Structure 1
Amino acid sequence: MRSTTRILPILLALFAAALLSPVRAGADVAIDDTTSHRLDELVAMRVGAAGANKGQLLDLLSKQFLGTPYAADTLIGSATQPEQLVVDFRQVDCFTLLDNVEALTRTTDRNQFTANLIDTRYAGDQVDFAHRKHFFTDWAQVANVAATDITGSLSPAAVTVHKQLNAKGDGSVYLPGIPVVDRDITYIPSGAVDDNVVRGLQTGDFVGAYADAPGLDVTHVGIIVSTPNGPVFRNASSLAANNQVVDTPLGEYLQMVPGIVVLRPR
């Protein structure tokens, strides 16, 4: 019989490695200490805001991410690499900011968060690259639907363009392993976002910056928050002057993009 004094350290090392190693699709997620602590705080905040509506919850919870560093390509998975469920509040990109906050609005017990995040980020609750909601309008088109596309109802100047999402102009694709998706994308040109459009926006609306390029619906996303000084676009900004989650005045942001796509959370 082997000595337990020799086996025990090995078992402990394997256990620790399992906790620290990346999580494969379908497995429980391992969360770093900083994210774990923040998750507890945010769930407690969500529980304390039981009377708030969806927009108020999105404002309250997203506000807690202001100043969080921006990091690109935070999700793990591809056509050749197994998808891993990433939960990381220490850094976010524009899409994971929305993923995290949307999932938190529906979380009143810490144990619910992972399931809510999977429900938000993936189609049919399947944690794999092919089922990840890669495009902003997937939130309004692909199960499980998280929002309704209200862009066309906000302005008579709204434009609808037929796109083949994921297909580049040269015939290649942005994301190998993901099919090309035929979809009509409706957007409001930035110059047509007048006072009537602004009055139609609500705190908590998800806004995407329309992409002129073929194969894409938007290039950036964020959340509308109404303030006494007008609406702001809360977003994880990669701009060198920001490089973190910030509130950008909507009028200022519109000067940098060709138009907007607006999804209203359910």
Structure 2
Amino acid sequence: MKKIFWLILGVWMGGIIELKAVPLQTADSSVLAAFWDYARMQNLAHLPVNERIPLIGTFFLGKPYQSGTLEKGSQEELIVDLREFDCVTFLENTLALAFLERYDAAAVPLFLDNLKKIRYRNGKIEGYTSRLHYSSDWLYEMQRQGFLEDVTRECGGIHFPIDVFFMTKNACRYPAFEKDSLLIFQMEQIETAIGKRKYFYIPKKDIGKIQEKIQEGDIVLLTTDIKGLDTSHVGIAVKKGEKTYLLHASSSAGKVVLSALPLSEYMEKIPSQTGIMLGRVR
């Protein structure tokens, strides 16, 4: 039987502390305990955030790939799972740890607060559609909150017309929509808002030409030609000399890995991937 610890998280709201109980399973607490030791060995607290990101991602190398870990609850709530990841949850947890000011057990509340801000629009859990499901929307929100800057255009990106509708046109794939059809209307409004923004991407054929502009720790969103989607994968840029590799939770490898091939060559083997968008810590 799995043990669950309830962490009482205090959040300042207009001078009043709102207390919320966040469940941490024993196994996740153990992962964090090991991570604090790792963070001290890597001297993370004294490194710039962009340098922390690949080091933290490396800590999770070999962790199993698992989709659907955020769909466990009967209602939308902050779910913490540091034992298995999909590409999105790997990135979310890595960033939530990278933006910490200290690396010990006292940092757990801030880690959870970071995770909430990174996963949800305006950092608030207000139902299923407050979660940032589309990666282009996520990058927009991360820039708005000051976590990342979209540097795609300055790295050579061209206009990327986005027309997202995959979730609402495939509502049967999402249990939350089956439970509450009103959520479909809410998601349609979000999809419309995304389509009105101006985005940029770097075509796959041009990645080799601009590789020197990609920096260690950049967040890489892999764009797709799948109808109704903006991206199909996300990961972290790791530099080896002048070449860029992808640190990511891979469904094909079944775990968190560093790509064996440079990013441009890795993407050549996946026809549906059309290019990249880039987020960077400033």
After TM superposition, is the score higher than 0.5?
A: yes
Q: Which residue of 2 aligns with 1:159?
A: 158
Would you say the 8 A contact 1:204–1:224 is kept in 2? Answer: yes
Q: Which residue of 1 aligns with 2:122?
A: 124
Aligned-pair distance for 1:95?
A: 0.3
Would you say the 8 A contact 1:70–1:244 is kept in 2? Answer: yes
| Corresponding position: 1:56 with 2:67 | no
What amino acid is the match of 2:108? R
2:161 is paired with a residue whose SS is strand
Would you say the 8 A contact 1:147–1:263 is kept in 2? Answer: yes
Aligned-pair distance for 1:67?
A: 0.4
Taking the TM superposition and a 5 Å limit, the aligned residue runs for 1:1-266 are: 27-46=20-39, 48-76=43-71, 81-107=74-100, 108=102, 109-127=107-125, 128-142=127-141, 143-155=144-156, 158-165=157-164, 167-168=165-166, 172-173=169-170, 176=177, 177=183, 178-179=187-188, 180-181=191-192, 182=195, 183-195=197-209, 197-228=210-241, 230-239=243-252, 242-248=253-259, 249=261, 250-255=263-268, 256=270, 257-266=273-282
Cα separation, 2, equivalents of 1:259 and 1:71: 25
Would you say the 8 A contact 2:212–2:242 is kept in 1? Answer: no
Q: Which residue of 2 aligns with 1:3?
A: none
Which protein is richer in helix relative to its size?
A: 2
Instruction: Report the more deviating stretch, 82-91 or 146-155.
Output: 146-155
Unmatched segments (≥5 aa) in structure 2 = 7-18, 178-182
Rg: which structure is higher?
1
Would you say the 8 A contact 2:204–2:276 is kept in 1? Answer: yes
Aligned-pair distance for 1:111?
A: 2.6
What amino acid is the match of 1:51? H
Would you say the 8 A contact 2:166–2:227 is kept in 1? Answer: yes
1:233 is paired with a residue whose SS is strand
Aligned-pair distance for 1:60?
A: 1.0
Aligned-pair distance for 1:91?
A: 0.3
Would you say the 8 A contact 2:150–2:278 is kept in 1? Answer: yes
Cα separation, 2, equivalents of 1:162 and 1:228: 33
Q: Which residue of 1 aligns with 2:11?
A: none
Cα separation, 2, equivalents of 1:265 and 1:95: 17
Cα separation, 2, equivalents of 1:136 and 1:201: 19
CA change 1:42–1:52 in 2 (3 A) is same
2:217 is paired with a residue whose SS is coil
Cα separation, 2, equivalents of 1:236 and 1:190: 20
Cα separation, 2, equivalents of 1:87 and 1:246: 21
1:216 is paired with a residue whose SS is coil
Would you say the 8 A contact 1:40–1:110 is kept in 2? Answer: no
Query: What do residues 63-98 of structure 1 show as CA deviations (whole Å, max 9, x unaligned)?
Result: 0011010001111279xx411211111100000001
1:259 is paired with a residue whose SS is strand
Cα separation, 2, equivalents of 1:207 and 1:63: 16
Instruction: Report the more deviating stretch, 143-152 or 85-94.
Output: 143-152
CA change 1:148–1:139 in 2 (3 A) is farther
Aligned-pair distance for 1:138?
A: 2.4
Cα separation, 2, equivalents of 1:219 and 1:92: 15
TM-score by length of 2: 0.75
